[in-house]
Chains A and B, each alone.
Chain A
Amino acid sequence: MTLEEKQSREGLLDAALSCVHCGLCYHTLPSLTESERFSDTCPAGLYFGFDAYYSPGRNELARAILRGEYPLKESKAIEEIIFSCTTCGACEATCRYVNDTNVLPVHVTEGIRALLVEQGVGPLPSQKKFAESVKKVDNPYGESSERNMWIEDQSRRDKLESDVFYFVGCTTGYRYQDIAKATTTVLETTDTDYSVSSKEICCGSPLIRTGQLEDVERLVRENVKVIQESGAKTVIFSCAGCYRTVVKDWPRILGEDLPFETIHVTQFMAEKMDSGELELNEPMDMKIAYHDPCHLGRHMFPNAVYDEPRKVIDSIPGAKRITLDREMDATLCCGSGGGVKAGLPEYAEYIAKLRVSEARNKGADTFVTACPFCVRGLEDGAKKEASESGDKPLEVIELTELVRRAIGGK
């Protein structure tokens, strides 16, 4: 589906009207959770409470917006309702389990966001800055420094004809460079011929997720050009958000298949462990809970990346992986998705705290995930949880960093 189609009122209305209010998405399926205590899956619904924040109610709101039933400007809540959805897709996953349905809450939410933005409603103030920054400096953080200067081996920057192009992403490249470095450690340990680019720009995720589509096509085409010019045939990602955007959104925007292969670093590591090229020898005495990033799981349906990260964790000597109540399709979002971390930080932190409490409740001492944005959200959640419980904050760590430790790196 092209971006235009995605925004088509007819398509959105059809998806919204397909919801029959069976209510199964209010909670996760019993078959997917270990405990009734952790059966809430909709972050916005559980926090704000009104039906409009849950998928069924939001579908009716979408209907009213699309049909122009009420004047947009007369609602003060509309921005918060539409932009508080973390677009985690938990409702969509539940819906998919019980029925092969046309109800596509993430699609509807993103489409409605785009429509509202066009009409001057939303996004939330701090989300607007994403678009402004991207317009100016091609990244949502407003960073004007040159890309990917963090890399120790500078010959990798803009290297031509390498096998693998490492698409670092803005959050990793500007805010979580340790993740980027750990990823390069993994690539180097496995003797992978890779490169990073100084010309890489925002993948478009923050803009697509918040309905600010103006610059998206330009970003996608420029990035594709950069990747093609590098000569690499495969693109590797450490950011789940970039991965989802490139694999799922780019082809729709381009109107054609991607001219390169894609792989997430967790898949790459699992592959290399199978082939014996990556060995995790350093024992670690940890009780690890793994948080599935929405963009690596539910958003990647039907090719969710669930097994690979678990396989990597299970291979670490001494580490014990703890199963959470909500995992995989039933995962409670970290609260940061869909622009919520920037737009509604207090609520995002609350959801992250709930998620951290769940891990703590299960006896984990380390929370591992595979997305820099989840790391950011969960770190804040861990601090909040610790400040309330009086315990030491749960350690939150990205999987590649854990692997770097497990292969003897620091």
Chain B
Amino acid sequence: MEQHVFEESKKLLAKHEEMEEELAAKIVSKLSSVIEPRYVSRDWAIRVAYSKDSSGSGSHDVNEYRIPDIVVLPGSAEDIVHVCKVASEHNVPVHVMSTNVNTAAMAIALFRGIMIDLKRMNRVLEVDRDGLTLTVEPFVSYARAQAILEPYNLRINVPGAPGSASVVGNNLYAGFKFFSGRFGYGAMETVGLEMVLPNGEIVRTGSLVNEPDLKTKSREPGVRNEPELDGGRVSVQAWGPDLTGFPHQSVGGNGIVTKMCVKVYRRPEVIKILCHGFGSIENSVRVVTEAAEREIGFGGLIGVPEDNALAAQHSNKDVERVEATIKSKLKALMTGIKVMTKGRKYKDRESYQEVFKGFLALQGIKYVNLLFLMGTERKVKLDEKRFQDVLENKELNTEKIRDATDYQKHFFWPYSPDADPESVYILMKNSGMEDYRYDWLIRGGKMLEYNEITARLMRKKGGLLFKSGRVAPSRVQECIDLFATTLEEFYPEAVKEHLWGLMILPGAGPHFACVEFVVQIDPTSQREKDLSSKALREFTIRALNQGFYFFNHPKLEREVLERETMPKLWGLTKKIRDAFGATRLAPY
């Protein structure tokens, strides 16, 4: 039974011929009978836009872009019911996307079929100031959600994605947030939802069971109403069994979520971003784990390759040489921060970023830690002292710790380097949303840089391999060691000749830390590609067997799944899906 799921998935993935014209015309006609014809399209120029997401590639194979056969823009759950029924009738896969900010090609129509683009479902429906919830449709981004909450002095827990990411989409895919250490991850913050099951049934769960009339708002393009206030929502699972978790991580396969009620929080007294430099992983992990344990923050750690020191030695003399050095030696890439040097004398952003990294390396800083703290004045203050103690105790110079406000003036700024940091900061500060906007911009920068690099390298047929996963905070070092030894065993060149970077994000959620490894390979060498691929595959299996949850490239994931690491879970899901007639949808 379990094995069947994966066999089915394999067959489906392999079969991706374009839909026959006759069938497509029939489906378009049926869809257009309920949904306005202008929102249904079979035209390739419309469809091709759905061939790429933030993963940097259009499908698992970078040389191939898969596009849906038909695209539809539903305006309501009822429209989606109709799409599901038509799809089911013709045995056609259905894919769903909203903001398309996805780094794993999960919003791509890998199986072709019908793409449901949820952009018209863009309403912020309700803010419950007493129940502390926000009810939104899928095409509502974190940026918009936070903008709505600002006047009420509320705050949504924002993820490590750009502000454009969908609240619904992010929460459905576990949603790892900056303050998950305190509030939990996406699934835990979902209070209720409305979903269309694959058989076309509408189900409302949790606090949306008794749905008030939220349909009165305009869906006219570009026109938005103020949200309703105070609908009297209740917490998740307050009323017996709850199917709220059913669509989680199914990427639309178990049901298409059309409304979601999520937790929001009263604005804390303090939200701070601190930057730390560290000479060792141990110290860095200590500090961020402490933040996680105290439920006051989140830390991101970014490795600074030691070889950058070499580049830095030339930084004041010869920019060309620095660039050459960087190109030949420093392929491991630091993600997550944008750098602005005072002088702006370097040719382009890449070169001064690398020089900046070299500057850090020269000072003995191997890891840069961005620490996001929130809480009461007293609590944050106390913990800052704790961090100070940790830092003073070790080889670190306290001068290397800077408050973000100070740090950005001196070192980097997440905006464009052409922007005047001071004035932009003042602008944000005066807006009264500086904390939110500041971290949003960092996120925007991070996502862009990360993907720009990926996309650029992918275009050259290869390049970076990423591995990210979740582990218990106390086992971060263990996981790093496992990665290092596996890499040493299967792909020794990676350690000796090629730099490998890592980014660990401990304290993400009460139960896990997020660990991310980045391995640079020579895109021209098939041998390296094979070795690194083998190493990562083996690492994934070892990690899963040791209780670390790693997810990444679907091809690898499938292999891991086939080794019976998770088939029980998926087998159970299959049973539930069968019960709801979900077999016609894409398998994940």
Contact = CB atoms under 8 A, between A and B. Distances in A.
Contact of B418 (A24, A58, A302): A302
Contacts of A30: 143-144, 146-147, 163, 433, 436-437, 440
A49 B73 contact: yes
A51 B451 contact: no
B224 A37 contact: yes
Contact of B451 (A20, A74, A96): A20
Contacts of A23: 54, 99-101, 141, 162, 164-165
B39 interface: yes
A29 B445 CA distance: 13
Given A37-B224, A51-B100, 10 more contacts: A22-B164, A23-B165, A36-B124, A39-B143, A46-B222, A49-B117, A50-B41, A50-B46, A97-B416, A101-B452
A2 interface: no
B51 A60 contact: yes
14 contacts: A20-B56, A23-B162, A23-B165, A26-B141, A29-B143, A45-B119, A49-B39, A50-B46, A70-B45, A76-B43, A77-B46, A81-B45, A97-B441, A302-B418
A58 B39 contact: no
Given A20-B455, A27-B144, A302-B418, A61 B49 contact: yes
Contacts, number: 177
A21 interface: yes
Nearest to A58: B49
Interface in B142-176: 143-144, 146-148, 162-165
B49 A52 contact: yes
B138 interface: no
B120 interface: yes
Given A26-B164, A52-B46, A97 B415 contact: yes
Interface in A8-52: 17-18, 20-24, 26-27, 29-31, 33, 35-40, 45-52
B182 to A, nearest CB: 23
Given A20-B452, A47-B221, A60 B144 contact: no
Contact of B428 (A31, A39, A40): A31
A321 B386 CA distance: 51
A389 interface: no
| Of listed A26, A30, A48, A351, residue having the most chain B CB within 10 A | A30
Interface in B427-447: 427-428, 431, 433, 436-437, 440-441, 444-445, 447
Contacts of A74: 44
A64 interface: yes
A22 B451 contact: yes
A57 interface: yes
Interface residues of B, number: 66
Contacts of A58: 49
B48 A17 contact: no
Contacts of A57: 49-50
A4 interface: no
A77 B44 CA distance: 8
Interface in B112-130: 117, 119-120, 124
B226 interface: yes
A74 B378 CA distance: 66
Nearest to B54: A21
A98 B424 CA distance: 12
A173 interface: no
A52 B50 CA distance: 8
A23 B433 CA distance: 21
Interface in B378-435: 414-419, 427-428, 431, 433
A300 to B, nearest CB: 14
B516 interface: no
B147 A39 contact: yes
A119 interface: no
A27 B417 contact: no
Given A77-B41, A98-B445, A69 B65 contact: yes
Contacts of B73: 49-50
Contacts of B414: 98
Interface of B: 38-39, 41, 43-46, 48-54, 56, 65, 71, 73, 99-101, 117, 119-120, 124, 141, 143-144, 146-148, 162-165, 221-226, 338, 349, 414-419, 427-428, 431, 433, 436-437, 440-441, 444-445, 447-449, 451-452, 455, 459
A51 B49 contact: yes
B48 A61 contact: yes
Nearest to A301: B418
Contacts of A56: 49, 52, 100
A60 to B, nearest CB: 5
B424 to A, nearest CB: 8
Contact of B144 (A39, A77, A78): A39
A99 interface: yes
A316 to B, nearest CB: 26
Given A99-B416, A99-B448, A22 B54 contact: yes
Interface in A48-94: 48-52, 54, 56-58, 60-61, 63-64, 69-70, 74-78, 81
A18 to B, nearest CB: 7
A179 interface: no
Given A52-B49, A100-B416, A22 B447 contact: yes
A61 B44 CA distance: 9
| Of listed B45, B99, B144, residue having the most chain A CB within 10 A | B45
A30 B437 CA distance: 7
B193 to A, nearest CB: 22
Interface string A119-145: 000000000000000000000000000
Contacts of A47: 221-222
Nearest to B438: A31
A354 interface: yes
Given A30-B163, A50-B71, A99 B445 contact: yes
Contacts of A35: 147
Nearest to A77: B43
A96 B416 contact: yes
Interface in A331-385: 350-351, 354, 357
Nearest to B144: A36
| Of listed A37, A69, A76, residue having the most chain B CB within 10 A | A37
A30 B99 CA distance: 17
Those 5 A-B pairs whose CB atoms lie nearest each other, nearest first: A57-B49, A23-B164, A20-B451, A52-B49, A36-B147
Nearest to B50: A51
A351 B447 CA distance: 31
B383 to A, nearest CB: 29
Contacts of B223: 354, 357
| Of listed B49, B164, B459, residue having the most chain A CB within 10 A | B49
Contact of B45 (A33, A61, A302): A61
Nearest to B164: A23
A56 B452 CA distance: 14
Contacts of B38: 48
| Of listed A40, A56, A98, residue having the most chain B CB within 10 A | A98
Contacts of A64: 44-45, 48, 51, 65
A60 B418 CA distance: 28
Contact of B221 (A39, A46, A60): A46
